[in-house]
Structure formats: structure tokens, C-alpha cells
Structure 1
Amino acid sequence: MTALSGMTGFGRAEGAAGDWSWTVEARSVNGRSLEVRFRGPPGFDALEKAARDAAQARFARGQLTVGVQARRTAGQGALAINRAALDQYLALARELEASGATPASAHGLLSLRGVVEVAEEADDAEALAAVQSAIAADIAAALDALKAAREGEGAALRPVILGFIDRIETLVGQAETEAASQTDTIRERFTRRMRELAPEADGLEDRIVTEAASLAVRADVREEIDRLRAHIAAARALISAPPAGRKLDFLMQEFMREANTLCSKSATTALTAVGLELKATIEQLREQIQNVE
């Protein structure tokens, strides 16, 4: 059975190759669909596609952020003389010597800012590609860690969600019991009212029977009860076959629609009380479903 997954979590991976080292962090929060944001170092543009492809292979929903920080250890490099800067310093030195100043020494000139530079070695394309491939592998590792964290959240959510579904089933059973007495309640209420308003009217008993039957039909909630039971079965099936967050979102709307109709048809305070508690429980379930992938 596929594990139920939440949508919040964090994953991290680190790596190094040659004179490069890096850290990858992946985190996610709730989202109606899958959205991936990437932040990476300059010159590693291909990593964004790698991050998006890896995320899409692992997740169906959630707002994901993948960040890569890469550092390169400074190498010794080759020393080079900045001839333009040296010539400027030499020209100034000669002017000062003409005024009686001590002649400039080679040591002094070489210590001046900008005269001696470290020449950076050009990046080897093959080596850089290898580094990029290694970082992409650690992006996948960070996303795997994120997936494990989200599944941990899902494991905690599962019993909570199933508990709410069980509570809804109990309330639907109570509603069915209360609804069974509605017909008698409606008939008694209507009979009493008619006899108060028109005690001497001709054909009163026949009219009472007809009108009471019409009211009972309009207050019949058997269809709503049947649909709620079907929704309960569907919810349990979806929980057992994730990812199903979007379908569960839609199902919560159907749950609430039937509960609202049940309340509107209620003819007794007892059934209304059950209907209101049912709506409150459905809303609590909906809040938990928002966290499901």
C-alpha cells in the first residue's frame, strides 16, 4: 500500500568534488498543485531543470523550494604582472626621484596594490560538467529526504483523518435513526395545527393525511444519508490509494453539500443537532485534508 504523504517537510544533502563543495536544501509547504522554485549558483543553469524533473518524479502537490549553495576553494593560480598598473607607478616614481626622493625598489613596486595579480585558471568543461552532475545527484538525495519527511507527516495524519471519517459515519447513523421518527413528528405537528386553526372544517382528516404525507416527502433525508455513506466509503478508498489530495478536496465539498441539505430538511431539533455536529466534523476533516498530497 502506498504511504500517505503530507505536503510539508525539509531535506538536505551535502557534497564535494575537486575544489568545489556544495549544500542542497529542499523544503515544501501546502499547495493546490505542484510548484517548484529553484535557486542556484551562477554558471549552473542546467541544475534548475534537474531539480524540476526530480521533483515532478516524486511529488504531486505542494510548493517546493530547492536551493543550492556552491563554493570553490581558492587555488594558488599563476602570478602575473599588471603592466598597465606598473607603468603608472613607475611614471610617478620617476617624478618623485626628480624631486629628490629615494628611487623606488622592485620589492616596493611589486607590493603595490594591483601590480601583482593571480591568474585564474580556466574552468575545464569536463570537470565542471562532472561537478554539475554530482550536484544534481545531491539534489535528488535532498528531495528523497524531503519525501521521507512528508511521508512521516502523512503517517501522523492518517489516524487523525480516519478518526474523523469514523466520527462522520457514527453521526450519519444517528441522523438515520433520528430521521426515522420525522414522519410521525410531522404528522402530529401538522394535525395539531390544523385542528387548532379549523376544527370544524369538512374533510379535515383526509386533508391532514394528504398534507402530512407531502411534508414528510419533502423532509425525507434517505437520499442524503445514502450519499453520505457512499462518500464515507470513497474517502476510505482514497486514503488507501494516495496521492489523492485533490480528489479528497472535492469529496469534502460533496460531504458538506449533503450535510447542508440534511439540516435544511430537518423537522426535529434532535436531527438538526446531529446535522450541525456532522457539519462541524466535516469541516475539521477538511482542514486535515488540506495537508494531504
Structure 2
Amino acid sequence: MNNALLLKLHRWISLVFAIPLIAIIFTGLILSVEPIIQNRGLPAGMADADRLTGLLQRYDPAAKARGLAINASGQQMRLLGVNAPVIDLATGEAATASDPVGDVLLWARRTHEHLLGHDWLVIASTIAMVVIMGLGVLMGWPRLRNSLSGWHKGAAWFTLPLLLLSPITGLFMVLGLTLQGNPPPAAATLPLADAVRAIAQSHDVAHLAMIANRGGRMMARVYEAGELRAYTFTAQGVTPLPRNWPRLLHEGNWSALIAGSLNVVVSVVLFGLLATGVMLWSRRKLRRRPQSAAKTRDRTAATPA
């Protein structure tokens, strides 16, 4: 397969998937900062086991909530699976104002994962991204020049491992490939209030991100030293789950500051590559049109009347 054909495939796959890729990359850029923001946790003294269980009793007296999610940046808590208001953790009352940062992150996550309900398009675009990168590799080492094309090729090659890691780990998540060992046996599902008390015995709930039933087991996710660790509740107590490396790498939750910053870089480079690729294609098209028009005029002028 020659380079001309590889380049044509590389270019046209990029153009066909340009719009969904822009949406995925842009929302990925927004989500890259989420670990950095949420890792800071709640202010000291704002949350402990007694306060959280008291709020559960107040806003979910029937104990029907499937879980809770804490937004540290907005200092708010949501109860999952029940019709309860968003709770302002600073006052303990129903939140009267929206959290702009949390709302943007929630919108970005839904769009990034579902693209307005078109999950198949997310998967197809992610596969297309891997194919585009693979075609770029097959075209061989670039000639680095101080030009738009040179910068396009140089940026792609120098960041290639990071660029490939993002869509590949995303596909692992879609396919349910966690690379985890066997998780510890789960205990019977705990009432949510009991789970809060259990996690508070060994962890600072100011850094608690969520407690929820996932796959038939009660799980908790807590930020620890920059990493979002997952725990389950067993007969022995709160037990760490094996690390889900594809998710940690993709979301940047293995080290909030370092991984989050790297994901920002990856998103910026991907957006730059897509933009410069479209610009290069547009230049070629615009360059050909005047030449074609000039040839048409020359033929017309040479035709005898």
C-alpha cells in the first residue's frame, strides 16, 4: 500500500468523522480538569459520617436511594435513584443555586459518553481515531519542517503514545475490559447509611466521591493522594478493589494533577491535529480550483471560433 493511498484514507476518514470527533475531543478537554478540581475535596469539617447520615435520614427517610454522589467543587450532594433535591453541604438545605462547574462537567460527561444518545457514534468515532493514527504511523517518519504540515506531523509523532492511549483505553471501557484480577466477594448490599459509616471509619469522607450499587455490589470511590480509589464492602469490612487501569488512565484518575494535566495536553494536541488536518485539506482544494479554472480558460481560448 503506497503513501498516496494511505494519505487519502487518513484524510477522508478524518473528514467523515470530523464533527463527532470535535465533540468528543472538546468534552474530553473539559473532563480532563475534573480530577484536578474534585481531588481537593470538601473544606475541613464540612462532612463527616454523622452529618451525611443525618442528611440521608432527612432527605430519604424511606432509605430508597441507590447511592450518593458528592461534587466537591460545588459542595453539593445528590441522592441517586430517588426524587430528592440537590443538597447544599454548606447549609444542609436544598440547593437554591445551580453549580455552573458541576453542570458543565455533567453535560460534558453525558456528551462524551453518549453524543446525544448515539452511543454507536461514539464507538465508531473512537475506532476511527485509532485507524487514523495507525494510518499516520504506516506513512512512515515525517520530514519535520517549519510549516503547517511539518507541525501537524511533528505533534502527532512526538505525542503518539499518549494519543493512542486515550482512544484505546476508551474502547477497553466500552468492551468492559478492566484488566483487574478477581474482586473480593461482595457482602450483602448494605443500607446506604451503614455504608457511609463503614467508609468513614477508615477514610476521610471529605474526599468521598460516590457510594453506589454497581454490578450487584456496593462500591465507594474516594480520592487518596490524587488517585480515585475504588472500594467494596465485604464481611471483613471496607476492602480495596483491584485497579481498573483502563478507566484510571482514560479518566486521568491515577494521579489527579499529573494525569489530568497530561489529558489536557492530549486533548489540545488532538484538537490541533484535527484542525490543521482540515486546514491542509482545504488548502489543497482551494489551490486546485484556480488551476482547474485556468486550464478551462486556456482550452476555451485555444478553441477556434
Q: Higher helix share goes to which structure?
A: 1
TM-score of the pair, normalised by structure 2: 0.25
TM-score of the pair, normalised by structure 1: 0.26
